[in-house]
Amino acid sequence: MLAIAVLAAYYFAQLPETPLLKALKSASIGSVVYAEGLSPRPAQAVCVLHPYQDRVYGSDDLAMRVNTFLAKTSYQSDEGHFAFIFISRDEITVERIKRSTELDMLSVSEINQARPSGLPANFIPEECVVGPSSAVTKITENVRTFAVFGEIKP
């Protein structure tokens, strides 16, 4: 059994990094990375799921469409991952990212409670963003690096 676990860990360690993970890791603190181009197909909207969050909050058409997809695919969140959801006209893709001390994700409620410094002035933290203004920025807080998802306002 241990051999299977070791082989699985080795296999997943050898998988190439996705464009999203590469962009998040290589982004400098305070910079903005637009979500456009970070998924295999152009996305009309992007949402994030935080640890232990297995559905998108809200009752609008976008949230209902995403939540139907998540239920149909039996998506299960856990403590060790956050996820980006890329929504196009014909497809929804979910990219899970492993949390670490080098990269974690802050939710809108955590941002509102902690009020961390370093967010760009025109950056509004959000859970879902429709259109090309969806973006991610990186900040440091308590010696950890966090990604924050949201929208760039003009």
Show pLDDT as tens, one digit a residue, over the chain (154 residues): 544 444 444 444 445 688 888 888 999 999 999 988 787 778 999 999 999 999 999 889 999 999 999 999 999 999 999 999 999 999 999 999 999 988 999 888 888 777 777 888 899 999 999 989 999 999 988 888 999 999 999 8
Q: What is the pTM of this model?
A: 0.84
Sign, Cα dihedral of 124, 102, 105, 132: positive
What is the span of the domain harbouring residue 114?
Answer: 15-152
The reply to whether 47 falls in a domain is: yes
The reply to whether 3 falls in a domain is: no
Distance CA 41, CA 7 (A): 31
As for how many domains the chain has, the answer is: 1
The reply to whether 8 falls in a domain is: no
The reply to whether 6 falls in a domain is: no
Residue 108, token pair as written in the block = 């809108």
The reply to whether 5 falls in a domain is: no
